[in-house]
């Protein structure tokens, strides 16, 4: 079961209702800077994790300013659409509520996930100037409770990893399919169900990439399975290898 740290109470809480009822994930983001995008990204990963676990999730955007710009930036980063909070009907207002917000933002009610800020180096540029998938991976590499300092070196490392994984997945896709090993599936779920520990999920993928004796078909299925949470389009280049 997915459990997350509630910044409001200081305790771990179950993210999904016992009967898998609807969970409302409310992202509190303003503007279109890297910190706001990180808030939306954490909310997006949370929605994905809930859905993989069989819990219906309803992503809602709680923003009063520059909403259209924020939606456009989020879409570029591969974040699925969030509905406007003003459209919440009475039948959905009572759903289980999880609020995702940058540290220091004031929110009330429900479980609260704090997201640490992002500081971009002057030479990096604005979020819109960075390859979206590279930025997504660079942000996912860090626990959400830790501030992120984006540097050209960090983005280059993320871009190189993403390109290598996509090439590998495209190659593995041409090999006989094999199921995800039970131990690997257990490690992946154990990582993201432990307070959305996405860096640990990435660590499992790095281990699987070079694990001796693992069929390439199983590597492919592992990466495709993990990408349901990561949203990095790791299967994008299938069919492009010469």
Residues near 151 by beta carbon (within 8 Å), at least 6 away in sequence: 121, 123, 124
Residues near 12 by beta carbon (within 8 Å), at least 6 away in sequence: 3, 4, 5, 6, 195
Average pLDDT estimate for 2-21: 87
- Domain boundaries of the chain, sorted by first residue: 3-115, 125-242
Cα dihedral: 187, 190, 195, 196 (round 10): 50
Q: Are 60 and 84 in contact (CB under 8 A)?
A: yes
pTM (predicted TM-score): 0.92
For residue 142, give the nearest of 233, 187, 203 by alpha carbon. 203
Q: What is the pLDDT of residue 123?
A: 45
Read off the pLDDT of residues 116-160 as tens digits, 9 standing for 90 and up: 999 876 545 555 567 889 999 999 999 999 999 988 899 999 999
Q: What is the pLDDT of residue 32?
A: 79
Average pLDDT estimate for 88-106: 76
Task: Collect contacts of 180-186 with beta carbons under 8 A, ≥24 apart.
Answer: 180/218, 180/221, 180/222, 180/225, 181/214, 181/218, 181/222, 184/208, 184/218, 184/222, 185/222, 185/225
Q: What is the pLDDT of residue 202?
A: 98
CA gap 201, 194 in Å, rounded: 10
């Amino acid at each position: 079961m997915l459990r997350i740290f509630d910044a409001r109470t200081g305790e771990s809480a179950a993210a999904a209702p016992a009967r898998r009822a609807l969970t409302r994930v409310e992202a509190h983001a303003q503007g279109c800077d890297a910190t706001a995008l990180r808030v939306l990204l954490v909310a997006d990963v949370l929605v994905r994790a809930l859905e993989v676990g069989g819990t219906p999730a309803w992503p809602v955007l709680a923003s009063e300013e520059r909403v259209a710009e924020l939606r456009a930036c989020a879409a570029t980063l591969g974040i699925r659409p969030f509905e406007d909070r003003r459209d919440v009907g009475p039948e959905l207002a009572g759903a289980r509520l999880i609020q995702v917000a940058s540290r220091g933002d004031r929110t009330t009610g429900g479980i609260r996930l704090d997201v640490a800020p992002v500081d971009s180096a002057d030479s990096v540029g604005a979020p819109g100037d960075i390859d979206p998938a590279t930025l997504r991976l660079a942000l996912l590499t860090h626990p959400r409770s830790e501030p992120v300092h984006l540097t050209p070196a960090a983005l280059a490392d993320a871009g190189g990893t993403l390109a290598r994984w996509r090439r590998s997945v495209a190659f593995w896709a041409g090999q006989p399919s094999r199921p995800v090993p039970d131990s690997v599936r257990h490690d992946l779920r154990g990582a993201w169900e432990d307070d959305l520990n996405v860096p640990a999920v990435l660590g499992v993928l790095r281990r699987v990439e070079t694990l001796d004796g693992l069929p390439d078909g199983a590597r492919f299925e592992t990466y495709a399975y993990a990408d349901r949470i990561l949203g990095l389009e790791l299967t994008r280049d299938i069919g492009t290898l010469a």
